[in-house]
C-alpha cells in the first residue's frame, strides 16, 4: 500500500494479538498511532518497541466498556498528535457460551466489550472527525463467526453479527460527513484470545489442547491458521486511500471458511 503520511489512527486492544499487529502495520504505513488498551503495560511495551512518541506512537489506557473512557482516549490522541483520521475498534473478548449456560451477566459481559465498545468508538471518532472538519474511517472487528453462527460461542457470534449490523447503518448515516464504516472478519488467528478459547473447549471436553485447536482448524480451505499480520494487511487496506469507495462492508480474511 502507498505510504499514508502523517495521518492519525487509534487502535483499541492494541497491546497484543491482532491489535498489536494492526498498530505495527499502520505505523509502517506512515500513520501516527495511539495504542489504546485496558492493559496499559502491554500498550506501553508495544509503543516503546515502535519508538514511542518521537516515532509517532503513544500508549493510552482505555476501557471500551466505558463510553467516557473511549471519548477521553480519542480526545487525548487528538491533543497529542493534532489530528484524527482512523479508529480501529478492535478490542474484544471471546469466552465460550454454551446455550444452556447463558445468563444476563454473560450477555452483558460480552456485549459491553464487543458491541458497546464499537458503538462508543464510532461515536467518539465521529465527534473528533466533525470537530476537525473532515471525514474519516471507522474500522471494527467482526469475525467469520459474525457471518456464520459458530458452535459453542453463541454470544460471541451474536456480538459480531451485531457489529456488522451497526456498521451497515453507521455507513449509511455517517456518509454525509465523509465517514466510511467497515468491518474486518478474521478466521482463526494465532493470538492469546484464540489460545484461551481452544484450551477451554478442550478442557470442557476432557481432550488435549491439540484437539481443541483442531476443532477450530477443521474447514479452513487454506489448511492453516492465520497470522495476526494477515489480518493487519486487510486493516491497512481499509485504513488507506485504496478503500475510499468501500463502506458498510465486512471483509472476510479467514483462509476460506466462509463463502459469501
Ligand atoms: N483471534 C482470532 O482468531 C479472532 C478471530 C476473529 C475475530 N477476532 C477479533 O479480533 C479482535 C482482537 O482479537 P485478538 O485475538 O487479538 O484478542 P486478544 O485477547 O489477543 O487481544 C485483545 C486485546 O484487547 C484488550 N481488551 C480487552 N478488553 C478490553 C476493554 N474492555 N477495553 C480495552 N481493551 C480491552 C486486551 O487487553 C487485549 O490487549 C477481537 O475483537 C476478536 O473478537 C479474533
CA 208/CA 202 separation, integer angstroms: 6
Let me know if residue 16 belongs to a domain.
Answer: yes
Asked if residue 208 belongs to a domain, the reply is no
Q: Give residue 1's pLDDT band: very low, low, confident or very high (50, 70, 90).
A: very low
Phi-psi region of 82 (alpha: psi -120 to 50; beta: other; left: phi over 0): left
CB atoms under 10 Å from CB of 126, counted, come to: 21
Q: Is the pLDDT of residue 215 over 90?
A: no
Minimal CA–CA distance to 223: which of 179, 247, 186, 255? 255
Cell numbers for 2, please give them. Answer: 502507498
Q: Is 186 in the pocket of ligand 1 (CB under 6 A)?
A: yes
Domain CATH for 26: 3.40.50.720
Bridge partners of 186, per DSSP, are: 253
- Whether residue 210 lies inside any domain: the answer is no
Pocket-testing residue among 44, 59, 72, 91, ligand 1, by greatest number of atoms within 8 A of Cβ: 91
State how many domains the chain has: 1
Q: Could you tell me which of 162, 232, 226, 157 has the C-alpha nearest to residue 194?
A: 226
Q: What is the pLDDT of residue 214?
A: 87
For atom 23 of ligand 1, the residue with the nearest CA is: 13
204 domain-assigned: no
Pocket probe mutation, ligand 1, options 17, 20, 40, 152, max atoms within 8 Å of Cβ: 17
Q: Is residue 178 part of a domain?
A: yes
Question: Residue 50 pLDDT more than 90?
Answer: yes
More confident residue, 215 or 149: 149
Give residue 216's pLDDT. Answer: 81
C-alpha cell at 184: 474486518
- The percent of residues in the chain predicted with pLDDT above 90, rounded, is 88
Cell numbers at residue 238, please?
481499509
Report, as an integer, the average pLDDT of 121-134: 98
* pLDDT value, residue 28: 98
pLDDT in tens, 79-120: 999 999 999 999 999 998 999 999 999 999 999 999 999 999
Query: pLDDT digit string (tens) for 179-213?
Result: 999 999 999 999 999 999 889 888 988 999 999 88
Closest by Cα among 47, 94, 48 to 201: 94
Residue 79, domain member (yes or no): yes
What confidence tier does 238 reach under pLDDT thresholds 50, 70, 90? very high
Q: Which helix (H) or strand (E) holds 120?
A: helix 117-132
Ligand 1 center to 70 CA (angstroms): 16
Q: Kindly name the residue from 156, 184, 213, 216 that is annotated as catalytic.
A: 156
- Residue 90 in any domain: the answer is yes
What's the whole-model pTM score? Answer: 0.97
Across the chain, what does the average pLDDT equal?
Answer: 96
β-sheet bridge partners, residue 181: 138
DSSP symbols for 228-239: HHHHHHHHHHHH
155, part of any domain: yes
Owning domain of residue 141: 8-187+227-251
Instruction: With beta carbons less than 8 A apart as the criterion, state whether 152 and 96 touch.
Output: yes
Amino acid at each position: 500500500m502507498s505510504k499514508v503520511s502523517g495521518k492519525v489512527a487509534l487502535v483499541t486492544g492494541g497491546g497484543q494479538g491482532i491489535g498489536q499487529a494492526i498498530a505495527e502495520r499502520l505505523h509502517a504505513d506512515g500513520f501516527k498511532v495511539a495504542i489504546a488498551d485496558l492493559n496499559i503495560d502491554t500498550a506501553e511495551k508495544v509503543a516503546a518497541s515502535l519508538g514511542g512518541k518521537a516515532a509517532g506512537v503513544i500508549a493510552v489506557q482505555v476501557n471500551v466498556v466505558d463510553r467516557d473512557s473511549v471519548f477521553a482516549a480519542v480526545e487525548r490522541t487528538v491533543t497529542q498528535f493534532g489530528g484524527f483520521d482512523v479508529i480501529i475498534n478492535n478490542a474484544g473478548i471471546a469466552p465460550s457460551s454454551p446455550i444452556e449456560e447463558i445468563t444476563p451477566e454473560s450477555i452483558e459481559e460480552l456485549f459491553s466489550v464487543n458491541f458497546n465498545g464499537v458503538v462508543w468508538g464510532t461515536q467518539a471518532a465521529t465527534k473528533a472527525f466533525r470537530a476537525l472538519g473532515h471525514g474519516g474511517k471507522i474500522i471494527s472487528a467482526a469475525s467469520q463467526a459474525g457471518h456464520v453462527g459458530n458452535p459453542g460461542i453463541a454470544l460471541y457470534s451474536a456480538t459480531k453479527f451485531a457489529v456488522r449490523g451497526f456498521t451497515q447503518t453507521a455507513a449509511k448515516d455517517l456518509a454525509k460527513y465523509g465517514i466510511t464504516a467497515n468491518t474486518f472478519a478474521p478466521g482463526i488467528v494465532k493470538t492469546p484470545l484464540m489460545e484461551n478459547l481452544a484450551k477451554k473447549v478442550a478442557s470442557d471436553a476432557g481432550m488435549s489442547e491439540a484437539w481443541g485447536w483442531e476443532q477450530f482448524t477443521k474447514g479452513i480451505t487454506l489448511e492453516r491458521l492465520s497470522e495476526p499480520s494477515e489480518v493487519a494487511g486487510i486493516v491497512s487496506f481499509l485504513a488507506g486511500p485504496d478503500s475510499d469507495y468501500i463502506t458498510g462492508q465486512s471483509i472476510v480474511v479467514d483462509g476460506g471458511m466462509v463463502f459469501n
